[in-house]
Every structure is written in structure tokens, then in C-alpha cells.
């Protein structure tokens, strides 16, 4: 990685910025760019966007793999945990 790129990333990190790369459908690309730009540059618009997005897409609390295994539940029909056969 070049020195200039390292310095750029360091400055962005100091500003509290995080680089994010996503794959979206072509028709959505322009909208995602506009949302990202508004979140970075316009505080009033950013607050409204965050509130709207949080309302529509609530934050999902993630659990660790160990917690998932211990819960005994799965969103799929099959679970990777095999029960011990008795007999």
C-alpha cells in the first residue's frame, strides 16, 4: 500500500470515518451513493436518514456462534449440532 494511501486512511480514521464497500443492484447504486454522501456531509439530513433507516431496518443484535449453538434453535430446518444416539 502506498504511503499516500496510508496517510489518507489514517486521516479518515481520525475523522471517525470508515471505508465500506458493498455490492448492490445497478439501479440502486446512485441512491446508495447519495445516502452515503448525505450521511457524511449534511448533519440534518443524516439524522433524518438514520432515524428512517432505523425505523424500517431495526438493528439486529447478533449472537456469537457459541450462543447460537447453546440456544438449540435454528432459523433453518436442520441444525449443525448432531444429537448423540443412545443405544
Which tops the pLDDT comparison, 31 or 85?
31
Q: Residue 73 pLDDT more than 60? A: yes
Overall average pLDDT of the 31-59 stretch: 88
Burial class (CB in 10 A: 0-12, 13-18, 19+), 16: exposed
DSSP 48-85: HHHHHHHHHSPPPPP--HHHHHHHT--SSSS-SPPPPP
Residue range 23-46: average pLDDT?
91
Rounded mean pLDDT of 59-67?
A: 78
Model confidence, pTM: 0.56
Is pLDDT of 62 > 60?
Answer: yes
> What's residue 77's pLDDT?
47
Pairwise CA distance, residues 25 & 51, whole Å: 24
Return d(Cα 42, Cα 51) in angstroms, integer. 14
* Residue 46 to residue 28: CA distance in whole angstroms: 19
Greater confidence (17 vs 77) lies with 17
How many Å apart are CA 3 and CA 5, to the nearest integer?
5
Amino acid at each position: 500500500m502506498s504511503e499516500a494511501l496510508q496517510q489518507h486512511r489514517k486521516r479518515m480514521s481520525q475523522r471517525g470515518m470508515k471505508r465500506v464497500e458493498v455490492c448492490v443492484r445497478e439501479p440502486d447504486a446512485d441512491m446508495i451513493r447519495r445516502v452515503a454522501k448525505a450521511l457524511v456531509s449534511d448533519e440534518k439530513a443524516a439524522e433524518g436518514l438514520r432515524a428512517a433507516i432505523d425505523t424500517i431496518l431495526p438493528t439486529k443484535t447478533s449472537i456469537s456462534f457459541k450462543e447460537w449453538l447453546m440456544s438449540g434453535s435454528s432459523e433453518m430446518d436442520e441444525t449443525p449440532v448432531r444429537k448423540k444416539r443412545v443405544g
